Structure 1
Amino acid sequence: MGSERQQRMKALGARLKGLRGEAGLTGAVLAQRAGVGQPTVSKVENGRMVPSLDVLGRLTRALGLDESTTQEVRDLLVAVEAAPGAAELAGAKGPAESPLDQAVRSAQLVRSFQCVVLPAMLQSAEYARHVFDSAPDSTPEGVGRAVAARVERQSLLYEPGRESVFVLTEGVLRTWPGSPALMLAQLDRLLAVESLSTVRLGVVPWRQAMPLMPRHGFTLCDRAAVVVETFRGERVLAGSTEVAAYEDTFSRFEEAATFGPDVRELLLRVMKDFRDLDASGTH
């Protein structure tokens, strides 16, 4: 295990242990209140286990932490996930889930706005491969595992009871890695996903003025958390004020987007452009 990752795991564990002490709880009592095993609490506090976002949420709620302290602990988890050595550790036990992966998996309502890259849940395997290839310190083995995990997680789109709403700018559809042929396959996948009863796909056309200038992509998971995506990774925000602000922002982009037959027509127009590029030999 990379020493930097190990140090961050220990920092997260020490902070949780200190908070448990301040709350006057034993490890056994905390485990019972959180609905997790006592060995899990012990391993996390001793820096020998990285908790999932769900487990960390259980622990913070059982400790009765306020919003700022909860966010502090979440940021420590994000730092662990972003530390060098994460991909190597995942190789022994399967792909590691990012904070976004974990938050999406546990949510019944997912709303994602993207202005540059397609939402993770909509990416084809080849598109995702280019996304992971561009990450710092990527390795062929790590990229392969990450792509497999991303494709597997997309089965959530088909589960009854879940709802996914995606809003993209037209620029996302025209920002392409690889080749025009790759994007033709990717756009064909978007057409298939758009027809699902569990999915709403909207696009803000370039002819439509943006209601506000986007700074970055983000994903709302239920009404409990928002994952902000940046060049350096992902940050999970759980404060009610911040989540409400992002909900309002998403609603404004959603109102500017086109859905249904109009978005299908737009996708077909973009596909025609990529066919023309493919025929001209542009790569």
Structure 2
Amino acid sequence: MAIPESFERDRAELAEGIRQLRAVSGMSGVSVARRLGWSQAKVSKVETGKVVASSEDVRALLDLYQPPIEVRERLEERAEALNDRYATLRMLRKRGLHRVQEDIGRNARSTSVIRSFQPSLVPGLLQTPEYARAVFGQPLTMEATDVARAVRARLDRQTLLFDPEREFHFVVTEAALRWRMGDAATMRAQLDRLANLSTLENVRLGVLPWSVFVPQVPKNGFTVLDEREVSVESFTTHRSISEPRDIRFHLEIFQLFADAAIYGDEARAFLAELTREHA
């Protein structure tokens, strides 16, 4: 999935605003770097938008350039919004992935309808403790994670599933169900949990078999919270998308996958067959 157009636009506008302030100040990039204790390459990357400047870095630049208050407020707000929407894995690890899970839980608690599509992994709200431990224990993407705390935070938000005032619609691919996370016992328990949760009145679980033709390649997983936000994760980043056009696009994609999926007894029979394969 490409980076949303609105994100690229805001990043470019922030970078150009910072570049223009330096030009007005008469300082060179080398001079700015020396005054802030940065490398000249960092100044260049910020001004060209190759990196998203942190809120702290933007404030340091604004302190140096001393722009009018309305310009300062506009650039500070843009930097904060961009950093809220684009979090690198390094940033998430530094903060603690258990805290990230707690934030996700708080966001979910303010949501009435959650739609989640996952092509390679069981959705977090549906994971067993053993499966979640396998996810958070991955050596490359989850290195230095406090696994126990991350798992506990993820499981804590699963109580939302039993709130009849909320609606959940999950679509998972056959690939997500076959991908081994843990041993055979872990996979059997996970598949059994999916079958059980699919019987809840407020939970719809769709399974997308390999045998079904879908006219769209499932490039990544995503979760739509009501119709206000889309959460997208990659190996190294987490993005929150709030652009209405991008949200509508994800809702259309979700519905396309949902229409091709199987549900109810048919889905549970499919899960039972997969469970037998792990005997």
**Please, what TM-score do these two structures have when normalized by structure 1?**
0.68
Q: Which residue of 1 aligns with 2:162?
A: 158
Q: Which residue of 2 aligns with 1:139?
A: 144
Q: Is the 8 A contact 1:12 1:76 kept in 2?
A: no
- For residues 73-126 of structure 1, the C-alpha deviation after alignment (integer angstroms, 9 at most, x for no partner) is 444135567445x556559xx744376444323211100001001111111111
2:165 is the alignment partner of 1:117: no
SS at match of 2:101: coil
Q: Which residue of 2 aligns with 1:181?
A: 185
Question: Which one has the largest radius of gyration?
Answer: 2
Gaps spanning 5+ residues in structure 1: where? 1-6, 26-44, 46-59, 61-68, 276-283
Residues 167 and 136 of structure 1, relative CA distance in 2, 3 Å threshold: closer
Q: Which residue of 1 aligns with 2:260?
A: 256
SS at match of 1:196: coil
Q: Which residue of 2 aligns with 1:76?
A: 83
Q: Which residue of 2 aligns with 1:201?
A: 205
Residues 13 and 215 of structure 1, relative CA distance in 2, 3 Å threshold: farther
Q: How far 1:189 moved relative to its partner? A: 0.8
Q: Is the 8 A contact 2:87 2:239 kept in 1?
A: no
Q: Is the 8 A contact 1:9 1:80 kept in 2?
A: no
The partner residue of 2:130 within 126, 135, 152 is 126
Q: Which residue of 2 aligns with 1:235?
A: 239
SS at match of 1:215: coil
Q: Which residue of 1 aligns with 2:56?
A: 10
- For residues 232-270 of structure 1, the C-alpha deviation after alignment (integer angstroms, 9 at most, x for no partner) is 131000000000000000000000001111101101111
**Please, what TM-score do these two structures have when normalized by structure 2?**
0.69
Q: Which residue of 2 aligns with 1:22?
A: 70
Runs (4+) of structure 1 exceeding 2 A deviation are 7-15, 21-25, 72-75, 77-84, 86-91, 94-106, 135-140
What is the distance in 1 between the residues matched to 2:96 and 2:238?
Answer: 18
SS at match of 2:269: helix
2:216 is the alignment partner of 1:212: yes
Q: How many residues align?
A: 222
Q: How far 1:24 moved relative to its partner? A: 10
The letter of the residue matching 1:238 is S
What is the distance in 2 between the residues matched to 1:148 and 1:13?
Answer: 36
Instruction: Calculate percent identity across the aligned residue pairs.
Output: 33
- For residues 170-196 of structure 1, the C-alpha deviation after alignment (integer angstroms, 9 at most, x for no partner) is 111101122111100111111111111
SS at match of 1:210: coil
Q: Is the 8 A contact 1:218 1:226 kept in 2?
A: yes
What is the distance in 2 between the residues matched to 1:207 and 1:228?
Answer: 26
The letter of the residue matching 2:270 is L
Q: Is the 8 A contact 2:86 2:238 kept in 1?
A: no
Residues 205 and 160 of structure 1, relative CA distance in 2, 3 Å threshold: same
What is the distance in 2 between the residues matched to 1:118 and 1:226?
Answer: 18
- For residues 11-33 of structure 1, the C-alpha deviation after alignment (integer angstroms, 9 at most, x for no partner) is 48789x99xx53999xxxxxxxx
Q: Is the 8 A contact 1:75 1:235 kept in 2?
A: no
Gaps spanning 5+ residues in structure 2: where? 1-52
The letter of the residue matching 2:84 is L
SS at match of 1:166: strand
- For residues 152-210 of structure 1, the C-alpha deviation after alignment (integer angstroms, 9 at most, x for no partner) is 11111111211010001111110112211110011111111111111000001111112
SS at match of 2:168: strand
What is the distance in 2 between the residues matched to 1:77 and 1:12?
Answer: 14
SS at match of 2:214: coil
Residues 228 and 80 of structure 1, relative CA distance in 2, 3 Å threshold: closer
Q: Is the 8 A contact 2:169 2:203 kept in 1?
A: yes
